């Protein structure tokens, strides 16, 4: 699902970087030279991150003192697309693009080192999906508010989102999630307000409704089946909740889709 390797040394373009998975990212901490693809040569610079499309071999010409080669599956990338509706997110890997990290570079390298530890610790898939989503959002400049987070806050957000992803269909109580986080419900709600600007009740409702929209558009399940799978006691309750959230009825939404 995910591969992360350090990159360092001198490179000639006769040898391609190998990737197991299709979504590819090169993070250059210190380096000079060029990243070479069929579409052209792109300058390697300190603090530059490349988002590389699946098509074409990736070759380097020059020297990298410190860097990272990250590649991961489309499944891990899917959570990023679900959480980021901005067209920039959808186009991130459409063509080769890059960004100079600037003041975000220190946090990016810390994130990469922590990700390396989490991969080694064999963290579960739901956690890694959230990590990749947050990492791409931050490094692509879509989640600028993360720059104010400490690494401890980032870790807490990842833990919360991983638990939420696993249990949102069946568990609605903040007490359940607070227990999983090892804090009181009051402290969890305060933390979520601080770092995400939303209460627990809003976050879980948004996650449930996002899943509802996906199921309504992309599954063959009936409204009764969707309501039941998301923990609603009736289709009527589900439909009224959906209308309050989206401002339109379930039928209107499915026709728009």
In this prediction, residue 256 carries a pLDDT of 78
pLDDT higher than threshold 70 for residue 161: yes
Q: Give mean pLDDT, residues 15-27.
A: 94
Q: With 0-12 CB in 10 A as exposed, 13-18 as middle and 19+ as buried, what is 240?
A: middle
pLDDT higher than threshold 90 for residue 44: yes
Phi first, then psi, for residue 234 (nearest 5°) are -160, 160
- State the greatest distance between any 2 C-alpha atoms of the chain, in Å, as a whole number: 64
The CA R_g of the chain, rounded to the nearest whole Å, is 21
List pLDDT tens digits, range 114-154: 999 999 999 888 889 999 999 999 999 998 888 888 888 98
Query: In which element (H, E) is residue 22 found?
Result: none
DSSP E strands in 106-233: the ranges are: none
List pLDDT tens digits, range 91-113: 999 999 999 998 889 889 999 99
Q: Give mean pLDDT, residues 28-40.
A: 95
Q: Give mean pLDDT, residues 210-228.
A: 93
Q: How confident is the model at residue 257 (pLDDT cuts 50, 70, 90)?
A: low
What are the Cα distances from residue 141, in Å, to 49, 87, 104, 147, 159? 11, 13, 9, 10, 22
Please give the share of the chain, as a percent, with pLDDT higher than 70.
100
Q: How confident is the model at residue 225 (pLDDT cuts 50, 70, 90)?
A: very high
Q: Give mean pLDDT, residues 237-256.
A: 92
In this prediction, residue 56 carries a pLDDT of 85
List pLDDT tens digits, range 53-96: 988 899 999 999 999 999 999 999 998 998 887 888 989 999 99
47: left (phi over 0), alpha (psi -120 to 50) or beta: left
Average pLDDT, whole number, for the chain?
Answer: 93
Q: How is 52-109 classified by DSSP, letter by letter?
A: E-SSS-EEEEEEEEEEEEEEE-HHHHHHHHHH--SHHHHTTTTS-EEEE-GGGHHHHH
In this prediction, residue 82 carries a pLDDT of 85
Q: How confident is the model at residue 164 (pLDDT cuts 50, 70, 90)?
A: very high
Q: DSSP 3-state assignment of 32?
A: strand
């Amino acid at each position: 699902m995910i591969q992360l390797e350090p990159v360092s040394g001198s490179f000639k373009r006769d040898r391609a970087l190998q990737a197991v998975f299709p979504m590819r990212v090169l993070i250059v901490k210190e380096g000079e030279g060029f990243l070479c693809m069929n579409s052209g040569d792109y300058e390697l610079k300190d603090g530059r991150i490349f988002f590389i499309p699946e098509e074409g071999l990736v070759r380097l010409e020059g020297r990298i003192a410190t860097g990272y080669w990250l590649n991961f599956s489309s499944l891990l990338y899917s959570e990023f697309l679900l959480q980021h509706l901005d067209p920039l997110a959808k186009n991130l890997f459409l063509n080769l693009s890059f960004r100079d990290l600037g003041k975000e570079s220190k946090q990016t390298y810390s994130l990469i080192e922590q990700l390396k530890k989490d991969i080694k610790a064999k963290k579960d898939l739901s956690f890694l999906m959230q990590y990749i989503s947050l990492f791409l959002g931050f490094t692509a400049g879509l989640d600028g508010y993360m720059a104010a987070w400490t690494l401890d806050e980032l870790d807490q957000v990842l833990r919360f989102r991983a638990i939420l992803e696993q249990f949102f269909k069946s568990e609605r109580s903040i007490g359940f999630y607070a227990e999983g986080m090892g804090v009181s419900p009051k402290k969890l709600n305060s933390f979520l307000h601080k770092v995400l600007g939303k209460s627990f009740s809003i976050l879980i409702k948004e996650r449930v409704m996002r899943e509802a929209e996906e199921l309504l558009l992309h599954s063959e399940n009936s409204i009764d089946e969707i309501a039941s799978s998301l923990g609603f006691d009736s289709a009527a309750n589900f439909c009224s909740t959906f209308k309050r959230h989206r401002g339109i009825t379930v039928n209107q939404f499915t026709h728009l889709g």
